[in-house]
Structure 1
């Protein structure tokens, strides 16, 4: 259920939300787990950002950006400098918003693994929601590699058995992957809807199709099937909401998530 201040809950019940948002609200209301929000604005921002995550995932799928292992990754070096480990570091003097947008505008110039794709989708969605001015204030030191991310993006964890919603990140694990192709040890995906996901290198597929694709990339004689982990990752919606209209730099550090989404 959704927990809001009484006046906001009443206002929510009278709103005519877009079908995408209405479906999420209805699913949250059916959930036995309380979804607590301090205000209606907090909930609406999350709904909008979830929509932007889905839109950014679909746009990246259509951008022409290729799947490439880190040792073979490539980028538009007008905006990014490729590091020895295969990551992309923002070039000096380049606006972060322009660099993220370029991945979508000039996708064929880029190749990267699916964990990096998850970060690109998140940055693009945040950019779309808070605007270039705030984005360029808070995300000045962008470095795209695996699960590295700016502290102002932030991530929280959950369990899919307590509810999965569009915009969440999940992970399909391939325990018997071929050791000669470690990039297929699993697939990070964005939830697009009911049993529909985007994974970079696999595309837009349902769970059976993703598991089938991973099972084709197992070691000879493998018996264990790929499967979906219970872990959910999503950005810190409320923190990102606070970045709107606030342009004082408060410092940035870089974290590395070391959970399920490791490669592929």
Structure 2
């Protein structure tokens, strides 16, 4: 595949080296996933540079022109505000915002999906947004994989701090976006290596503790194929695809080829 960005090439190379087989309905499905992952990574870097601060739920704040602060420390999109405008404002005027790391992770995912789908599609499905902890719109369709060896740029992971200072519950762990090349973004810590994330969390342990923070064996990301169908204007209730309708099967790993079947013809595209 030509014309890939650095992060997209890294994802393809890592999946090629994986013992797992990744099967896609079409080259377009693979391209959509790569594009979405790239936008999530870009969003994480943009949030890090935005000036948005880390805060507990008690001190959450946002631009009042777009968001209303709830009693629990969430940010509710104001009536009449387009969801895309509310999300984009966080990245334009980050100094007006402060929230904890779970909220920040959802914001990054929303921004990555917005930049992939475009404002019109995003606003159609991701309306009435509430930014609060791990509350997220059902159309984000997060899926979980219990194997952190299979994490790729654009995935979400969690570093757990089991012996955190009980007076600082906000440091019980760190939600992170995988950026690639061994880097992660965690709101409140910033962009760092895995070792750097662990070091930062260990500084917030109970005094005298020797129990280290660690990366949980869990990875999750949006359902890319679900989002791709939204981008194509298909209904939330997707019809079953008949075997005769499957034009393309793409595989990463093993032979490292996309196999394209059309009628009696067979063509392959190397990735």
TM-score by length of 1: 0.87
2:214 aligned residue: 227
1:243 aligned residue: 230
2:189 matched to 1:202?
yes
2:144 matched to 1:164?
no
Cα distance, 1:159 vs structure 2:
2.9
2:203 aligned residue: 216
1:52-201 equivalences under 5 Å are 52-201=39-188
Cα distance change, pair 102–218 in 1 and its aligned pair in 2 (3 A) = same
Work out the CA distance in 1 between the residues paired with 2:62 and 2:210: 37
Which protein is bigger by CA-based radius of gyration? 2
Q: Deviations over 1:108-158 (max 9, x none)?
A: 000000000000000011110111011111011111100011111110011
1:46-57 equivalences under 5 Å are 46-57=33-44
1:35 aligned residue: 22
Cα distance change, pair 67–196 in 1 and its aligned pair in 2 (3 A) = same
Structure 1 residues without counterparts, runs of 5 or longer: 1-11, 251-264
Cα distance change, pair 161–57 in 1 and its aligned pair in 2 (3 A) = closer
> Contact 2:148/2:217 (CA < 8 Å) preserved in 1?
yes
Structure 2 residues without counterparts, runs of 5 or longer: 238-271
TM-score by length of 2: 0.84
2:35 matched to 1:17?
no
Work out the CA distance in 2 between the residues paired with 1:161 and 1:249: 30
Work out the CA distance in 2 between the residues paired with 1:33 and 1:248: 30
Work out the CA distance in 2 between the residues paired with 1:148 and 1:181: 22
2:264 aligned residue: none
Work out the CA distance in 1 between the residues paired with 2:215 and 2:149: 15
Cα distance, 1:23 vs structure 2:
1.8
Cα distance, 1:222 vs structure 2:
1.2
Work out the CA distance in 1 between the residues paired with 2:96 and 2:190: 18
